[in-house]
Amino acid sequence: MSILRMNINGKPVELDVPESRYLSAVLREDLGLTGTKIGCNEAECGICTVLVDGTPVNSCIYPAFRAQDASVETIDGLSTNGELHPLQQAFLEHGAVQCGFCTPGLIMTSKALLDEKAAASESVTAKDIKIALKDTYCRCTGYQSVIHAVLQASGQDIPPYIPETRSPGQVVGKARPNPDALAKITGEARFTDDYVFPGMLYARTLRAGIPHARIISIDTAAAHALPGVHAVLTHKDVPGRNLHGLVSFDWPVLCRDKVLYAGDAIAIVAADSEEIAARALELIRFEYEELPAVTSAIDAVGPGAPVLHEGRPDGNLLKHIKVNKGDVEAGFGAADLVVDRTYRTPTVEHMFLEPECAIAVPAAYNPAEFAGPLDPNAVRGETALHAKTTIYVGSQIPYLDRDQVAAALDVEPESIRIVATLMGGGFGGKEDVAGQIHVALLAQATGRPVKMLYSRQESLLFHPKRHATLIRIRTGATRDGKLTAVQATLYGDGGAYASLSEKVLTRATTHASGPYDVPHVKVDCFAAYTNNAPCGAFRGFGVSQSCFAVESNMDILAQQLKIDAIELRRINALDVGSVTCTGQLMKESVGLNECIEKVDLDMRGEDFRWSWEEGRSRFAWGVAIGYKNTGLGGGAPDKASAEVEVWLDEETEPLAEVRTSSAEMGQGLPAVLAACAAEELGLPAERVRVLLGDTDYCPDGGPTTASRQTFISGNAARLAARKLMQQLQSAGECSSTDLAELIAAARNSGTQMLARYEYWAPKTQPLGSGGDMHFAFGFCAQAALCEIDLDTGAVQVRKVIAAHDVGRAINPLTLEGQIEGGIVMCIGYALTEHYIQEQGIPWTNVMARYKMPGIKHTPEIVSHIVEHDTSTGPYGAKGVGELPSIPTSAAITNAICRATGVRVRSLPVDQDELLRAIRSGADEVQLGWGDREPIPAVNLGGTQ
């Protein structure tokens, strides 16, 4: 240990710490300044940026003792005396804060730029910002709001970009920052890893490292014996169900018989420090017999493939999903032109910036026993008594976590409490159980709180990904552009465990003819188990994949029929009165044509050309349209409960709280729920608090997935508020709508000032029944202007014009955030992202090997909002979380094809392949970046 002296945020500090420390650890652990977040520990993501003597550095790789006598600035000290720094104020106003995990890094990096420019009396340009923030990443916002916020903070007058929407009600329809954004910009917001419980132990997981094996033995004796180790657990130590899952329970908590993917959990350790836990892992002797790995969906369901889940009657076929409408043979017979292509989409990683973290606190935990402070008024947190086993975790499905933990521990669900902490991004990647059950087991075994934090590298290895697919699609149309038939066959790589594969690939299947009125459709989808990483929910949920294939074919069709690309979409677009490929009659809320119109009008502005050459670049527009269900659909019960409570504050002004267990992962749910309740209660939105995700206090809101939360929980909140008003009116015998009066009148009657409402979405029907599979769909059209460098093959997206039908915009500011973030996420899908696995071993084992879009990739995004109300959504709203992230990839490859004549059939676009195709005059590219083999042949209907 040595003395480290620094000036931190204007205050001198002196610490006696090991010389082996990194600056980030000194800040977060020794000084308790948890505003600085850790995204990767690889100096890759930049969110840990702090200023050392005014210079931005990645604190995760900065040796602390290099900062001896230096001045360090962190987010924690940025606002002085409660006054926000202009950057913080601007980020808030521009909606540049979503999940908040990257926010400290973005703000500190920007601060250095502003300080530097101010000192040189130079003004700040967008180009300056893109250079300064090049290696500081954000996964939620799409960066456009960040650029505007930094420009504003530099003194320029840049109003927040808020798209035009219908005139607002009292609250609903007004742009408002997310209520928890304030804590996120000051660094006060706490994510799971920011909690430190007195007496807490640190846990690590031993992962298999090989894709397919029979387990022979697991010997933990040496690990047990290591001083500082408190528990080492294997499958033998799971008292209840050793399996978890979201549809089928097929995923072992701790492996017993087999290893089915490299990230499988073999054993878990809890120790006094993470270092000791890591050493303990090395002492575990794990013996296995390696088995041949199955690494593609087509091979998995073919003859001779080793069966992963032995004893399953269907072998590796998880499900054969079918859609049938009309008679495709007749349909193709009637076509003048048939386009038939096979496409390939990659395995993709969510790359939420906050790696998974879970803390379990055992029942009867008393912090005072570990010399920690005890606050008798605390209901949770480090100073609280914990009556029940409590898991602190950023999860998308708190109630399901509770059930799964309880099942593994063999206890009643009510004896477990889940406290959903802030989530630094989810995107579907935090639905499956990660560390929740493991920490619960360890807390029970040790009697201490246990924290399990995944490193970025472990997160990459462990969590479910987006399904890779092979999609052969055959599209037939008559000469006038009317679609007559679509037939598609899809193979989906579900990886080792079922997760949500069945649902994702059902979605891919039911959306596989696109948002079009097609009389004859036949789709066969084969969801397969393989020894690759399990695949599950990921924003877009199967439709990202099928939309790429559908919209690529549509552009080929347009080109061959010599029909304008937008006109072809217009001719066939779904409208009220259309019947989808699953037989659902669209009765209302189909704003697709208006979306197409808005994009067409904007794109064709003045001097429109589809494509042109400038210097050594070719520019071209590409269009694509898409749709996405709102809600679970397919007959699944889709409901949410919300509770609304009101009271008067010290100034006898009414306050309200909405409680539901839905998850906020940056999408802006609290603002939406507050608006829905506020509108009903006649309160300003600022007077409505929202409590999310505590299973002891919040009724079940259902999973945060399927773009459902605004619709379902928004309705639950709205109707709970309405019920409360009615309750208060009748209790106080007062017909006023003024809440303060109502509360005063009702108080004497002793009535409860709260109401709970369980909202059930309109019933849907299972696939194959011909009924309504979904109660609402969102629709969109996007046009992407791309620049292709003819000398390098590099592709840049310069502008995206988009129109989204959201039913009703509840909060245009957070809505725009979803749109921009979704579009940029899909740009990543098209151009930069691939989770590469080689024979079941991830090549992508560090963040440096996975690039999501950075600020330099941000195009100009112009957003139009279309509002075709649903009759059942809150104030007419339907979901939008996934919709914007769906068609952009096809819009981009359509632009590339228009510019170069080369059709890219595998994502992500590889400029090496593209350049060589352009030079050689080839008309297509089959290899995406990371692909080593051409696209396999797919037989229509599926028999290979």
Partner 1 sequence: MIRNCWKHYHTPGSLDQAIELLNRYDGRAQVIGGGTDLLLEIQQGRKPPVEAMVDPSRIAGLGEISQDAGHIVIGCAVTHARIVRDQRIVQHGTCLVEACGVIGGPQVRNVATLAGNVAHALPAGDGTIGLLVLGGEIEISDADGSHWMPLADAFLGAGKSVIDHHRALLSRLRFKPTGQLEGSAFFRIMRPQGVALPMISMAACLRLDENSMIESARIAVAPAGPVPSLAEAAMEALVDKPATQEQFSKASEAALSNMSLRSSKYRASQEYREEMVRTHLPCILARAAERAATGYAEPQGVGQ
| Residue ranges that bind partner 1, judged by CB under 8 A | 18-20, 22, 41-43, 46, 49, 55-58, 61-66, 68, 109, 131-132, 134-136, 274-275, 455, 457, 791-794, 831-834, 836, 843-844, 846, 848-851, 856-857, 908, 910-912, 915-916, 919, 929-930
Say how many C-beta atoms besides its own lie within 10 A of residue 468's C-beta: 26
Residues in a beta bridge with 579: 585
Residue 382 CB, nearest approach to partner 1 (Å) = 24
CB 142 within 8 A of CB 102: no
Half-sphere exposure of residue 114: CA atoms within 13 angstroms, side-chain side: 19
d(CA 692, CA 702): 12
Secondary structure in 3-state letters for 703-746 = CCCCCCHHHHHHHHHHHHHHHHHHHHHHHCCCCCCCHHHHHHHH
Residue 44 CB, nearest approach to partner 1 (Å) = 9
Q: Could you give the dihedral angle defined by the CA atoms of residues 529, 533, 537 and 539, in that order, rounded to the nearest 10 degrees?
A: -130
Edge-to-edge strands of the sheet including 285-290? 258-259, 213-219, 285-290
For residues 41 and 667, which CB has a smaller minimum distance to partner 1 in the complex? 41
Amino acid at position 44, single letter:
E
All residues at 6 or more sequence positions from 111 whose CB lies less than 8 Å from its CB, including other chains: 51, 73, 78, 85, 87
For residues 275 and 369, which CB has a smaller minimum distance to partner 1 in the complex? 275
CB 918 within 8 A of CB 899: no
DSSP conformational letter for 392 = E
Residue 132 CB, nearest approach to partner 1 (Å) = 6
For residues 61 and 222, which CB has a smaller minimum distance to partner 1 in the complex? 61
Amino acid at position 236, single letter:
K
For residues 105 and 163, which CB has a smaller minimum distance to partner 1 in the complex? 105
Residue 849 CB, nearest approach to partner 1 (Å) = 4
For residues 128 and 299, which CB has a smaller minimum distance to partner 1 in the complex? 128
Q: Is the C-alpha dihedral spanning 183, 184, 187, 189 positive or negative?
A: positive
For residues 46 and 398, which CB has a smaller minimum distance to partner 1 in the complex? 46
Residue 43 CB, nearest approach to partner 1 (Å) = 5
DSSP conformational letter for 586 = -
For residues 712 and 914, which CB has a smaller minimum distance to partner 1 in the complex? 914
Residue 105 CB, nearest approach to partner 1 (Å) = 9
Residue 45 CB, nearest approach to partner 1 (Å) = 10
d(CA 713, CA 710): 6
Residue 60 CB, nearest approach to partner 1 (Å) = 10
Beta strands, E only, 415-482? 416-420, 450-453, 468-477
Token code pair at residue 318 = 């998880």
For residues 147 and 678, which CB has a smaller minimum distance to partner 1 in the complex? 147
Residue 857 CB, nearest approach to partner 1 (Å) = 7
Q: Could you give the dihedral angle defined by the CA atoms of residues 390, 394, 399 and 402, in that order, rounded to the nearest 10 degrees?
A: -40
Residues in a beta bridge with 206: 267
Residue 36 CB, nearest approach to partner 1 (Å) = 13
For residues 778 and 930, which CB has a smaller minimum distance to partner 1 in the complex? 930
Alpha helices per DSSP H over 573-655: 592-604
Residue 109 CB, nearest approach to partner 1 (Å) = 7
For residues 307 and 848, which CB has a smaller minimum distance to partner 1 in the complex? 848
Of 767, 439, 798, residue with least CA distance to 632: 767
For tokens 């579900």, the residue is 494
For residues 355 and 583, which CB has a smaller minimum distance to partner 1 in the complex? 355
